[in-house]
Amino acid sequence: MNELWRLDAVRIAALVKSRQVSARDVAAAALERLSAVNPSINAVVDMRPGDVLAQAGRIDAAIARGEETGALAGVPITVKVNVDQKGYATTNGVTLQKDLLAVDNSPVVDSLLEAGAVLLGRTNTPAFSYRWFTNNRLHGHTRNPHDPTLTPGGSSGGAAAAVASGIGAIAHGTDIAGSIRYPAYACGVHGLRPSPGRVAAYNASSPERDIVGQITAVSGPLARSIDDIGLALRALSRRDVRDPWWTPAPLTGPEVARRVALCLDPGRIGTCEAIRAKLREAALHLEAAGWIVDEVEDLPPLREAADLQVRLWIGEGYEAKLAAAEKEGDPGALAILRGHQALGHATTLTSFSQALTRRATLIRQWQLFMETFPVVLLPVSADLPFEDDLDLKGHAAFERVWSAQIPQIGVPFLGLPGLSVFTGMTGRTPTGVQVLAPRFREDLCLAAGAVIEAAFGSPCVVDPAGS
């Protein structure tokens, strides 16, 4: 019973609903696991055991009354500190927001609770959720549970480290430039960036999101199984009128040709050989499962999409962002903003409008391409997971990081869903590949991901060093 934390969400929900185990038993086991391993990785930075057990008790009471408890009944799930959870601070990893207490839940939190989840704790993020590394002055440094010398990824680094370590079966994350997919990749789990409009988002505690946040930022799940990713997506896709961008799109689309475009080096990013080998192997497994795979030399514009996403993301309100980072004094946030200073100062209303206009052209090109290839298989990153804090180790290292991440950064600009799928270990270093599909076709990402998972095996729970 004390190892219920090892189970996946699908199994936990089935056991709780059938009353073979109680939600309280599951919560107690999850809290025990959190206490055992979190001190060595610092993934969860706000946890209240009494609150967790009270949530579980309400689930058990509802089941005893014969009430429907939802698809995630009793499943322990972590929530990132950049979304509102009533009574908790929406810190986004900055000291400036340490007292920003939410008076209401975000749609994400309400959707998880409506589905019967037990919210286990809140996970760390870099300051302002800016980096592919997770460290800040308020909550400290999150470590990769496989190897503390590697980044756990960012910005959902706490989420990925938690779920990889058995702290919750599912983790909530957010993604505007890779912040779900890269931490999943770095920590050896799966992570889905849904299509914009799929998962409702809103923080009443904070000012309205800027334009790029509204049209490219998403919430989504990280987990140790593709089935759990699908289960979480169904729960998170719940309607919420507070988000004007939420779209009532079906979770399963019409049948399409099972055809995949394999691209080893999109945008000439210089994909390392270890990842090229994983991509080729994943392609072979898809072919064996009946998919048609064609290797393509390149894809519709991805590097340009990434460049324009950075212009929108960093350039919009650049001076205000820089002033906030300087007030916070966070080295990572300052490195990113100062590293893009020329772009920030050059972003005008005209250039911003031009980027949004060009976006329609690039999306059209990708949609036409995906009429032939409904699934694209490509790297998550050009490199294996980075040395921790690599972006703070000089200009060349900073540029290397940003260049390697083009396959992540370009996807939000295009409005596509993307799935990072674990493909085994190279020594102590996790590896993974990325699957893209057309807008609102997360079902195709999951279908291809399930084949890859079956071939490489599901991620196993990691015992972090020192735990």
Instruction: Catalogue the active-site residues.
Output: 80, 155, 179
Q: Which of 456, 435, 432 is nearest to 187 (CA)?
A: 432
161-174 burial, b if ≥16 CB within 10 A, otherwise e?
bbbbbbbbbbbbbb
| Distance separating alpha carbons of residues 113 and 111, to the nearest angstrom | 5
The whole-angstrom separation of Cα 269 and Cα 265 is 6
User: Based on the number of CB atoms within 10 Å of its own CB, is 176 exposed (0-12), middle (13-18) or buried (19 or more)?
Assistant: buried
Query: Which distant-in-sequence residues (6+ apart) come within 8 Å of 301 by Cβ?
Result: 362, 365, 410
By three-state DSSP, how is residue 93 classified? Answer: coil
Residue 259 φ/ψ, nearest 5 degrees: -125, 135
**Cα 100 to Cα 36: distance, rounded to the nearest angstrom:** 29
Name the one residue in this structure whose structure tokens are 């699957």.
435
* Cα 254 versus chain centre, distance: 26
Q: What residues contact 357, with CB distance under 8 A and at least 6 apart? A: none
Phi, psi (deg, nearest 5) at residue 282: -60, -40
Q: Which residues pair with 260 in a beta bridge?
A: 293, 375
Cα-trace Rg, the chain: 20
DSSP 357-373: HHHHHHHHHHHHHHHH-
Phi, psi of 292 (to 5 degrees): -95, 125
- Report the distance separating Cα 16 and Cα 30, nearest Å: 14
User: For residue 348, what are the contacts with CB-CB under 8 A and spacing of at least 6?
Assistant: none
Q: In b/e form, how buried is each residue of 23-56, taking b as 16+ CB within 10 angstroms?
A: bbbbbbbbbebbebbbebbbbbbebebebbbebb
Pairing of strands 44-46, 118-123: antiparallel
User: Which tokens go with 208?
Assistant: 């309205």
Q: Which of 427, 424, 433 is nearest to 455 (CA)?
A: 424
Asked whether 120 and 75 are in contact (CB, 8 A), the reply is no
